[in-house]
Chains A and B, each alone.
Chain A
Amino acid sequence: MSIIDWFAKREKNTVDTTEKLNIPGHLWIKCDQCQEILFQKDLKDNAHVCLKCSFHFRMAAMDRVALICDPGSFVPCDEDLGPTDFLGFSDTESYVDRIRKAQTKTKRKDAVVSGLALLAGKPVSIAVMDFSYMGGSMGSVVGEKITRAIERGLENRCPVIVFTASGGARMQEGIMSLMQMGKTSGALERLGRAGIPYISVLCDPTTGGTSASFAMLGDFNLAEPGALISFAGPRVIEQTIRQKLPDGFQRAEFLLSHGMVDRVVDRRELRETLATLLDLSFGGPVS
């Protein structure tokens, strides 16, 4: 191939990119998996699942609350918990700036939404992680809000459901972020001893300190199709073993086949599945 051909080809690609950029973002979206152009409203009505190939798009935290909870039942808690830069941490950007940007972008103080709600008429304590806030990373606020959500389940004797979407511990909070793993898991020990079920719904992605604590500890671990779920991220493993990882490694279906999750559930059936599990596992006479 001559350099002229290369440029010609390159120009063609550039045109394609421009076309993609010309699609109005608020109306249309391209599927990451099958490249189908989807009407945003259709996608939203289909639980943010591709109408053609069933690819599960990442979802905003409040959209998820709306999808799962009985309409109008969600009451948010601990909304005023905010992060602080207690280490004075700065890398390519200061933690203070990162917090400010994430708060402006997501309009919330940190990477989790939590509260009490009804699901098919039953009270639940619910927490939903927001990956768009600093990769859903777990610092003091995330750890505290998850712990309080678990404790609310304990106080109100209602099941706890957590939707995880997190790259892991928040490095900017150093050792304190690591300790959130112990705190949240410890709260689950107490919930378990009280005989109250905990459901973990693992969404894309759930890795690192989040997977190695509350995400993996569900009495029922449900995963969304195709979700990346791992302890170490694929890049770290590739660097360690110096070879390419097989297709599907660390995806939800891989975890199902290795016995790490109970079910992989299509998001359009998630509410129904949760309702069934709650109905069969908690409340009411046993026989």
Chain B
Amino acid sequence: MKLMAFEKPLGELYDKIEQLKKLSRESDIDLSSEIEKIEQRAAAVREDIYHNLLPSQVVQIARHPNRPDSLSLFRLMSDDFIELHGDRAFGDDPSIVGGLGRIGDFRVVWLGHQKGHDTKENIRRNFGMPNPEGYRKALRLMQMADKLKMPIVTLIDTPGAYPGIEAEERGQAEAIARNLREMMGFGVPIVSVVIGEGGSGGALGIGVANRVYMLQNAVYSVISPEGCASILFRDAKQADVAAQSLKITAPDIVGLGIADGVIPEPLGGAHHDWDVVATAIKTQVLSDLSVLSSQSADQLRDDRYAKFRAMGIFTEG
């Protein structure tokens, strides 16, 4: 497992444990009490690190290459998941995926951003940065869900919509804007979970939901800390400060009234145990769907609009 920079003290302890175990095997000396002591220390260090994470460290966990991806989570939550492709206009964007599947007693439309776990897959998935056809595929699947009265569950994990020439030519802004508007009008329940990076408009483009959740180490932000640092602080090295200032962690996003709750991750991050994460998301989604599915189409629309209508902090008078 790839360790992150702030996990270095932990990595050193793990290395020491390995060395002692090897030595113990090769030399027939009993080092078990030594090993146990270091293991205890490692556990304490681990607790200490993960209970005192800085926002910039949470960003690293949110971007960890082994973090569970949308397709894997769909399959872990739905035995019968079947993927569907294409926007019926231009192409099939591999950085947004979707399809049908059962979750508990509900038949749902799944949607999510899709990143890769290695360079090759990341290049194929454009690092989870969709082009307009990705948003249009998502819209097509959501319109189908609305027609067939199926709830929509979206998993958000993108650095942002792709800033490229072709993306501009094909109307990146229009594609996202249209999704924001149309999602507000669907008469079926929509539940969204930010599972990794909630990168700006590219994230919100599949995130206008009745219920929004954050995985414990996910982040949600109007701009990446790096982007904010280079634009506002005029110094890319200030990304850590920007991460702090922007208030992007799960507790902050819940505190600001944007998300409804935090879904816990295993200690050390979601990449340590995908099954546990899938079960936690599934439990939350099922609990919401059982409440939302009894509401009428108009109630669902009104509920969703009221949620977003209340967002904004200003003075009046």
Query: What chain B residues lie within 8 Å of A249 (beta carbons)?
Result: 165, 168
Q: Which residue of chain B lies nearest to A98 when distances are taken between CB atoms in the complex?
A: B232
From B169, which residue of chain A is reached at the shortest CB distance? A258
State which of A177, A186, A209 has its C-beta within 8 Å of the C-beta of B181. Answer: A186
Whether the pair B164, A237 counts as a contact (CB closer than 8 A) is yes
- Kindly state whether residue A189 has any CB partner on chain B within 8 Å: yes
Query: What residues on A are CB-neighbors of B185 within 8 Å?
Result: 189, 193
Q: Which of B16-24, B215-223, B279-287 contacts A (4 or more CB under 8 A)?
A: B215-223
Q: How far is the CB of A169 from chain B (nearest CB, A)?
A: 5
A240 to B224 alpha-carbon distance, docked (Å): 14
Between A and B, how many residue pairs show CB distances below 8 Å?
190
Contact call A189/B184, Cβ cutoff below 8 A: yes
Q: Which B residues fall within an 8 A CB radius of A?
A: 161, 163-165, 167-174, 176-178, 180-182, 184-185, 200-201, 204-205, 207-208, 220-223, 228, 231-234, 242, 245-248, 252-253, 256, 258, 304-305, 308-309, 311-317
Interface size on A, residues (CB 8 A): 61
Q: Is the CB of A182 within 8 A of B223?
A: no
Interface residues of A in 256-272 (CB under 8 A from B): 258-260
List, in ascending order, chain B residues with CB within 8 A of A83's CB: 314-315
Given contacts A90-B245, A140-B313, A186-B309, contact A171 B223 (CB under 8 A): yes
What are 12 A-to-B residue pairs whose CB atoms are below 8 Å?
A171-B222, A174-B248, A181-B177, A182-B208, A216-B178, A217-B181, A229-B173, A231-B161, A231-B176, A232-B168, A241-B164, A259-B171
User: B311 near A183 (CB under 8 angstroms)?
Assistant: yes
- CB-defined contacts of B176 to chain A, threshold 8 Å: 212-213, 231
Is A96 an interface residue when CB atoms closer than 8 A count as contact?
no
- Given the known interface contacts A217-B178, A232-B163, the answer about A81 and B247 at a Cβ–Cβ threshold of 8 Å is no
| Contact indicator A230/B168 (Cβ below 8 Å) | yes
> Across the interface, do A237 and B204 meet the contact criterion of CB distance under 8 Å?
no
Instruction: Judge whether A84 is part of the interface by a CB distance below 8 angstroms.
Output: yes
Indicate if the CB atoms of B246 and A174 lie closer than 8 Å.
Answer: yes
Closest to B182 in A: A189
Let me know if A182 and B161 touch, CB within 8 A: no
Please indicate the chain B residues that have their CB under 8 angstroms from the CB of A124 in the complex: none
Beta-carbon contact of A231 and B173 below 8 Å = yes
Distance in angstroms between the alpha carbons of A129 and B317 in the assembled complex: 21
A interface, CB within 8 angstroms of B: 80-84, 86-87, 89-92, 140-141, 143-144, 147, 169, 171-183, 185-190, 192-193, 208-209, 211-217, 229-232, 236-237, 240-241, 245, 249-250, 258-260
Q: Is there an interface contact between A81 and B256, defined as CB atoms closer than 8 Å?
A: no
Given known pairs A90-B245, A231-B167, the reply for A190 and B305 (CB within 8 Å) is yes
List the 6 closest pairs (A to B, CB-CB), nearest first. A232-B163, A185-B180, A140-B312, A186-B184, A91-B232, A211-B173
Contacts of B182 in A (CB 8 A): 189
User: Please, which residues of chain A bring their CB within 8 A of the CB of B184?
Assistant: 182, 185-186, 189-190
**What's the nearest-Cβ distance from chain B to residue A238, in Å?**
10
- Taking a contact as CB atoms under 8 Å apart, the answer to whether A82 and B314 are in contact is yes
- B-chain residues with CB within 8 Å of residue A187 when the two chains form the complex: 309
In the bound complex, how far is the Cα of B208 from the Cα of A250, in angstroms?
27
Whole-angstrom CA separation of A80 from B308 in the bound complex = 22
A182 and B247 contacting across the interface, CB-CB below 8 Å: no
- In the complex the two chains form, is A216's CB within 8 Å of B173's CB? yes
Query: Bound complex: CA of A172 vs CA of B245, how far in Å?
Result: 9
- Please state if B253 and A175 are interface contacts (CB–CB under 8 Å): yes
A-B contacts besides A174-B247, A175-B253, 15 pairs, CB < 8 Å: A86-B313, A140-B314, A171-B223, A176-B313, A182-B184, A182-B207, A185-B181, A186-B181, A189-B182, A212-B176, A217-B177, A237-B164, A237-B165, A249-B168, A260-B171
